[in-house]
């Protein structure tokens, strides 16, 4: 364990870092915060493993596949490490928290294992390894992460993700997150407001607030603070155009929050609220705390109050005991609620969770077939919904060049549609009007009509 907080390493001539991130948005933001810290400490970020003095993987444990990928990447570094033993190899994040010491046993060429609550001390840990050549294991769960953000380091100048809470207390039966991210801890409104204010002063126009279970934000803070209170405070910030928040848990959703959303000008008409299944029996075994009927009714209420609201969801197929009838109920839910976008996953048992005690009895080919069926259904729905946008003028915050066509611009509507259109680079970061004339299931294409 590392025990001194007073190392500095500013004068080292060489320091390059290669950093790869797996997993959810929260992990990506932790990567961004870590890289900000390392840059301040004099590191240069490189995009080839061969150019790096330090190679770091920020890892995910949510499904077996995510872990397998990291172990295979780590295995591939064995020969490099043999040739260059001075290169530091580190494993960060959720898999580091979960597997801890075992990673050194399985991959003896790894130098650093740093869990989900310790990454703010990366620079000193790396220095310690370099100076003493020793392994560092840092997986203390009781740490409270408070990173002074380097606001100038972010992938997109006009948008930023902001962590408002860490951890999860929900313990859905299939999910490893509470075990690797620890208990829920909310940051104070003052802290968050200060961070958002400094991002806005630095040019940021849109923030997405992050929490694994964001609508329970405020639990444990003084004075019965809620996500609605946080949104109201941020809505007052001059210079900020848009606020989003993810991910919402249906059981923690309140009608009060929907009313607040509908009232606040900057809060976008978009909800990512995973349903996971359309079958009450499966939802019960998943320990989700709501029924499909409740979920449907909540979406109906939200859509009634917030015109043009789009809803995105996650689904798990092949959960233990999921019958064909259960699956058809999921299909029906998807058909009825017409989500804008869905992430669909094959169930993957995670050791230590409640569901891992149940028999993983849905054969892999059934999981695969169900996964494909939902993907196809969602694709069809997305295309149909997007087609309804043809002929409409939408407001777009321009993010930059389109990934598929660098000669065109790309941005998003408040409802989180991706819009691609012709326009000059000066429009990046501006709100513009675009008339939609063509669509696919993933993208709207249009013509610039005005600056808003």
* Chain positions contacting ligand SF4, by CB under 6 A: 168, 170-172, 175, 177-178, 212-213, 249
The beta strands (E) that lie in 140-291 are given as: 159-163, 165-166, 185-186, 206-210, 242-246, 270-272
**Residue 398 and residue 426: Cα distance in Å, rounded?**
10
Q: Are strands 206-210 and 310-317 parallel, antiparallel or unpaired?
A: unpaired
The beta strands (E) that lie in 169-253 are given as: 185-186, 206-210, 242-246
In the bound complex, what is the minimum distance in angstroms from residue 386's beta carbon to ligand F3S?
27
**Residue 55 touching ligand F3S (CB under 6 A):** no
**Residue 29 touching ligand F3S (CB under 6 A):** no
Residue 60 interacting partner from ligand SF4, ligand F3S, ligand SAH, none (CB closer than 5 to 8 Å by kind): ligand F3S
Q: Is the distance from CB of 60 to CB of 24 less than 8 angstroms?
A: yes
Taking the least distance from each CB to ligand F3S, the nearer of 26 and 342 is: 26
Among positions 250-309, residues that touch ligand SAH (CB under 6 A) are 274, 276
Q: Is the distance from CB of 98 to CB of 176 less than 8 angstroms?
A: yes
Q: Is the distance from CB of 66 to CB of 60 less than 8 angstroms?
A: yes
Residue 348 interacting partner from ligand SAH, ligand F3S, ligand SF4, none (CB closer than 5 to 8 Å by kind): ligand SAH
212-227 in b/e form (b: 16+ CB < 10 A) is: bbbbbbbbebeeebbb
Residue 316 interacting partner from ligand F3S, ligand SF4, ligand SAH, none (CB closer than 5 to 8 Å by kind): ligand SAH
**Contact with ligand F3S (CB under 6 A) among 15, 27, 253, 355:** 27
**Contact with ligand SAH (CB under 6 A) among 347, 389, 417, 436:** 347
Distances (CA, A) of 356 to 62, 100, 361: 13, 20, 11
**Residue 23 touching ligand F3S (CB under 6 A):** yes
Give the residues across from 341 on adjacent strands. 312
Residue 178 interacting partner from ligand SF4, ligand SAH, ligand F3S, none (CB closer than 5 to 8 Å by kind): ligand SF4
C-alpha closest to that of 196 among 154, 166, 225, 168? 154
Residue 257 interacting partner from ligand F3S, ligand SAH, ligand SF4, none (CB closer than 5 to 8 Å by kind): none
Binding mask 187-216 for ligand SAH (x = CB under 6 A): -------------------------xx---
Give the residues across from 346 on adjacent strands. 317
Q: Tell me, what DSSP letter sits at residue 221? A: S
**Residue 267 and residue 15: Cα distance in Å, rounded?**
41
Residue 320 interacting partner from ligand F3S, ligand SAH, ligand SF4, none (CB closer than 5 to 8 Å by kind): none
**Contact with ligand SAH (CB under 6 A) among 33, 55, 56, 62:** 62
Q: Is the distance from CB of 61 to CB of 67 less than 8 angstroms?
A: yes
Stretch that binds ligand SAH, among 199-207, 344-352, 358-366, 378-386 (CB under 6 A): 344-352
Taking the least distance from each CB to ligand F3S, the nearer of 94 and 292 is: 94
**Residue 344 and residue 314: Cα distance in Å, rounded?**
6
**Contact with ligand SAH (CB under 6 A) among 43, 174, 245, 298:** 174
**Residue 181 touching ligand F3S (CB under 6 A):** yes
Among positions 209-228, residues that touch ligand F3S (CB under 6 A) are none
Residues with Cβ < 8 Å from 39, sequence gap 6 or more? 45, 150, 153
Stretch that binds ligand F3S, among 2-10, 54-62, 103-111, 389-397 (CB under 6 A): 54-62
Stretch that binds ligand SAH, among 6-14, 96-104, 171-179, 368-376 (CB under 6 A): 171-179
Question: CB atoms < 10 A from the CB of 76, how many?
Answer: 10
**Residue 247 touching ligand SAH (CB under 6 A):** yes
**Residue 130 and residue 143: Cα distance in Å, rounded?**
24
Task: Name the residues that contact ligand F3S, by CB under 6 A.
Answer: 23-24, 26-27, 60-62, 94, 176-177, 180-181
Task: Name the residues that contact ligand SAH, by CB under 6 A.
Answer: 62-63, 174-175, 177, 212-213, 247, 249, 274, 276, 314, 316, 345, 347-348, 350
């Amino acid at each position: 364990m590392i025990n001194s907080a007073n190392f500095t390493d500013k004068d080292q001539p060489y320091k390059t870092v290669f950093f790869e991130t797996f997993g959810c948005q929260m992990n990506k933001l932790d990567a961004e915060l870590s890289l900000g810290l390392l840059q301040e400490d004099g590191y240069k970020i490189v995009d080839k493993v061969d150019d790096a003095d330090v190679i770091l993987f920020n890892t995910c444990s949510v499904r077996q596949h995510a872990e397998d990928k990291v172990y295979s990447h780590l295995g591939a570094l064995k020969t490099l490490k043999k040739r260059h033993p001075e290169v530091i190899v580190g494993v960060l994040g959720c898999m580091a928290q979960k597997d801890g010491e075992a990673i050194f046993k399985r991959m003896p060429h790894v130098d650093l294992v740093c869990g989900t609550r310790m990454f703010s001390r990366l620079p000193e840990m790396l220095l310690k390894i370099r100076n003493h050549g020793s392994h560092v294991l840092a997986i203390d769960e009781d740490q409270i992460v408070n990173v002074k953000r380097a606001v100038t380091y972010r992938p997109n100048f006009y948008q930023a993700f902001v962590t408002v809470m860490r951890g999860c207390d929900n313990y859905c039966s299939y999910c490893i997150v509470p075990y690797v991210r620890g208990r829920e801890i909310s940051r104070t409104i003052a802290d968050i407001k200060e961070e958002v204010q400094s991002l806005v002063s630095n040019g940021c126009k849109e923030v997405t607030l992050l929490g694994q279970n964001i609508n329970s934000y405020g639990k444990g803070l003084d004075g019965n603070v809620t996500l609605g209170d946080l949104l109201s405070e941020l809505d007052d910030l001059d210079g900020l155009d848009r606020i989003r928040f993810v991910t919402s848990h249906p059981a923690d959703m309140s009608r009060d929050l929907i009313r607040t959303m509908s009232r606040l000008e900057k809060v976008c008409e978009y909800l990512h609220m995973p349903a996971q299944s359309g079958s009450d029996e499966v939802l019960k075994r998943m320990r989700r705390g709501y029924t499909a009927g409740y979920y449907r009714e909540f979406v109906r209420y939200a859509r009634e109050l917030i015109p043009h609201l789009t809803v995105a969801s996650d689904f798990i197929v092949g959960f233990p005991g999921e019958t064909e009838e259960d699956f058809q109920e999921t299909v029906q839910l998807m058909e009825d609620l017409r989500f804008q976008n869905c992430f669909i996953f094959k169930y993957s048992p995670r050791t230590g969770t409640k569901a891992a005690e149940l028999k993983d009895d849905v054969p892999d080919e059934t999981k695969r077939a169900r996964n494909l069926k939902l993907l196809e259904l969602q694709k069809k729905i997305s295309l149909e919904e997007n087609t309804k946008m043809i002929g409409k003028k939408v407001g777009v915050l321009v993010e930059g060049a389109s990934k598929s066509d660098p000669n065109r611009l790309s941005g998003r509507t408040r409802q989180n549609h991706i819009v691609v259109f012709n326009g000059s680079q000066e429009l990046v970061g501006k709100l513009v009007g675009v008339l939609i004339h063509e669509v696919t299931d993933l993208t709207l294409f249009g013509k610039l009509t005005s600056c808003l």
